[in-house]
Amino acid sequence: MRFHCLGLPHTVTSREYNACAFTQKVLKFCKMMHPKHTVFHYGHEYSTVDCTEHITLITNEDLEKTYGSHDWKKEFFKFDCNDHCHKKFNELGIIEISKRFQQGDFILCFWGFGHYGIAQAFEGALVVEPGIGNYHSFAKYRVYESYACMHHTQGLQNTPNPSWYHTVIPNYFDIEDFEYSDEKQDYFLFLSRISECKGLHIAIQACEALGYKLKVAGQGPIENFKSDCIEYIGYADTQTRKKLMKHAKALLIFSDYVEPFGGVAVEAMISGTPVICPDYGCFVETVPHGLCGFRVRTFDHILFAMRNIHKIRSFECKMWGDRYSLENIAPRYIEYFSMLLDLYGEGWYTQHDDRETLKYLCR
């Protein structure tokens, strides 16, 4: 198979940008598919990607021209789908993909509408939005990160007849980015965008009520959240994330919206760390209640979960988290792409003597 993987116009496809879930999907997808398949990556000149060929569309000069001195490690990412970087990315992307494109190739729009200009230019191709983690999608062929995200999006878009070619394949993770430990230290962890929408204020209130330390890592203004229980870490690079996750008593995340996937929860479980989270959205699919943490509804539930988190076994968290490894998710994507390639034959009615790989599509 041949994949044209579109990076993000405003980031660099590398581990350094681990705070951007979309960037990391591109990085990990390329590693997941290469070298068994042909992978073209389109993005920033300093991208470090496992691929067949990297094609530069954006440079540091473009980032500086568009975003100036904006510090994405302290603040959330700055971008506009109509800014210079996005326009240049799409214009050059069309030219460069055209040089390499063959019938049956997949064009993967990881940034959704940010890649819409490229998608329009290849209207008859197999244009796929993979790993959809937002509620605004356009492609004919879509892979959502969770059933919560798919159903919520279909409801928002008032989709009367969902497509057979809209599917769910969960986010995927490089196990090498994390370390397992069943030895926990005396702190809870909040690792996310520093915002009330991620429930930081609730995590603080819970730690204050029980007298626990809360380590806080992420992008955003910590000045809005004051408490003696906080140890502020700031932006956490790959090594810092490893240490924070593997030694935490639990990860606390209390998103106040229908979370599409919440990858940090899986990252914690891969590290052997349980999760305390809401009982809605993607967490219903990713965090088994009582096995890898607790899904909660009230403040009282949260305090109960924190008092009893020691009863959750680290190796159970690790075993569940490893279900989302690159090796385990790759076959599900391959089955889905094989299904799309059937459209060049008899389409939806195409039959195969061996459909053993169907077991990977839904589980």
List, for residues 173-195, the tens digit of each pLDDT value: 999 999 999 999 999 999 999 99
What pLDDT band is residue 352 in, cutting at 50, 70 and 90? Answer: confident
Q: What is the pLDDT of residue 354?
A: 74
Q: Can you tell me the mean pLDDT for 3-31?
A: 97
With b for 16 or more beta-carbon neighbours within 10 A and e for fewer, the 95-115 pattern comes to ebbeeeeeeebbbbbbbbbbb
For residue range 87-109, list pLDDT tens digits in order.
999 999 999 999 999 999 999 99
Identify the structural domains of the chain with CATH numbers, from first to last.
2-172+326-360 (3.40.50), 175-322 (3.40.50.2000)
Helix 238-247 / helix 263-270 crossing angle, nearest 10 deg: 70
Four-CA torsion 114, 119, 121, 125, nearest 10 degrees: 160
Between CA 20 and CA 172, with CA 13 as vertex, the angle to 5 degrees is 60
Q: What is the pLDDT of residue 161?
A: 79
> Across the chain, what does the average pLDDT equal?
95
Helix (H, G, I), strand (E, B) or coil at 119: helix
Q: What is the pLDDT of residue 256?
A: 94
The one-character DSSP state at 190 is E
- Distance (Å, whole) CA 106 – CA 128: 7
Give the neighbor-by-neighbor strand order of the sheet with 166-168.
Answer: 53-58, 38-44, 2-6, 106-108, 126-132, 141-144, 166-168
Q: What is the pLDDT of residue 358?
A: 67
Category of 248 on φ-ψ map: left (φ > 0), alpha (ψ -120 to 50) or beta = beta
What pLDDT band is residue 357 in, cutting at 50, 70 and 90? Answer: low
